[in-house]
Structure 1
Amino acid sequence: MNALDLSRLRPRLPSPLEPVEDERFARRGLTLLLKRDDLIHPDLPGNKWRKLALNLRAADGRPVLTFGGAYSNHLRATAAAGRLLGFPTVGIVRGDELAGRPLNPSLARCAADGMRLEFVDRTTYRAKNDPATLAKLLERAPAGAYVVPEGGSNELAVQGCEALGRELSGAADTVAVACGTGGTLAGLAAGLAPGQRALGVPVLKGGFLGGEVRALQEAAFGGPRGDWALDDRFHCGGYARTSPALEAFARDFEARHGLAVERLYVAKMLYGLVTLAEEGAFPAGSRVAAVVTGAPEPADPVRL
Structure 2
Amino acid sequence: MLIPNQKIDFPFFKESGIDLYIKREDLIHPHISGNKFRKLKYNLVEAKRQGHSTLLTFGGAFSNHIAATACAGKEAGLKTIGVIRGEELEEGWQDNPTLKLASEHGMRFHFVSRSDYRTKGTDLFLYKLKMTFDDFYLLPEGGTNDLAIKGCQEILMEADNKYDFICCAVGTGGTIAGLINSAQPHQKVLGFPALKGDFLTSEIQKLTDSEDWDLMQDYHFGGYAKITAELADFINHFKQKTGIPLDPIYTGKMVFGIFDLIKKGFFNPGTQILAIHTGGLQGIKGMNQILKQKNLPLLDL
Within 2, Cα distance between the matches of 1:215 and 1:69? Answer: 25
Within 2, Cα distance between the matches of 1:64 and 1:295? Answer: 20
TM-score normalised to structure 2 length: 0.90
TM-score normalised to structure 1 length: 0.89
- The offset of 1:24, in angstroms, is 2.7
- The offset of 1:168, in angstroms, is 5.9
* Paired letter, 1:47: N
Q: What SS class does the counterpart of residue 155 from structure 2 fall into?
A: helix
Are the counterparts in 2 of residues 158 and 187 from structure 1 also a CA contact under 8 Å? yes
Are the counterparts in 1 of residues 36 and 65 from structure 2 also a CA contact under 8 Å? yes
User: Alignment partner for residue 27 of structure 1, among 1, 8, 15?
Assistant: 15
**Most deviating of 165-174 and 256-265:** 165-174
Matching of residues 199-238 of structure 1 within 5 Å:
199-217=190-208, 224-225=209-210, 227-238=212-223
User: Alignment partner for residue 161 of structure 2, among 170, 173, 186?
Assistant: 170
**Most deviating of 271-280 and 157-166:** 157-166
- Aligned pairs, how many? 285
User: Alignment partner for residue 43 of structure 1, among 11, 24, 31?
Assistant: 31
Identity of aligned residues (%): 40
Within 2, Cα distance between the matches of 1:168 and 1:185? Answer: 19
**Residue 129 (1) aligns with residue 114 (2):** no
Are the counterparts in 2 of residues 183 and 213 from structure 1 also a CA contact under 8 Å? yes
Change in 2 beyond 3 A, CA 1:197/1:168 = farther
- The offset of 1:145, in angstroms, is 0.4
2:259 — aligned with what? 274
Within 2, Cα distance between the matches of 1:144 and 1:167? Answer: 40
Within 2, Cα distance between the matches of 1:17 and 1:245? Answer: 26
Are the counterparts in 2 of residues 36 and 292 from structure 1 also a CA contact under 8 Å? yes
- The offset of 1:234, in angstroms, is 1.1
Are the counterparts in 1 of residues 93 and 99 from structure 2 also a CA contact under 8 Å? no
Change in 2 beyond 3 A, CA 1:167/1:76 = farther
Within 1, Cα distance between the matches of 2:61 and 2:202? Answer: 25
Within 2, Cα distance between the matches of 1:168 and 1:151? Answer: 28
Matching of residues 37-76 of structure 1 within 5 Å:
37-60=25-48, 61-76=52-67
Within 2, Cα distance between the matches of 1:131 and 1:14? Answer: 41
Within 2, Cα distance between the matches of 1:41 and 1:167? Answer: 22
Q: Deviations over 1:136-158 (max 9, x none)?
A: 122222x3201010000111111
User: Alignment partner for residue 299 of structure 1, among 285, 291, 296?
Assistant: 285
**Residue 89 (1) aligns with residue 74 (2):** no
**Most deviating of 25-34 and 131-140:** 131-140
Gap regions ≥5 residues in structure 1: 1-12, 218-223
Are the counterparts in 1 of residues 189 and 213 from structure 2 also a CA contact under 8 Å? yes
Within 1, Cα distance between the matches of 2:286 and 2:166? Answer: 25
Gap regions ≥5 residues in structure 2: 292-301
**Residue 138 (1) aligns with residue 124 (2):** no
**Residue 116 (1) aligns with residue 108 (2):** yes
Within 1, Cα distance between the matches of 2:253 and 2:26? Answer: 16
* Paired letter, 1:113: H
Q: What SS class does the counterpart of residue 73 from structure 2 fall into?
A: helix
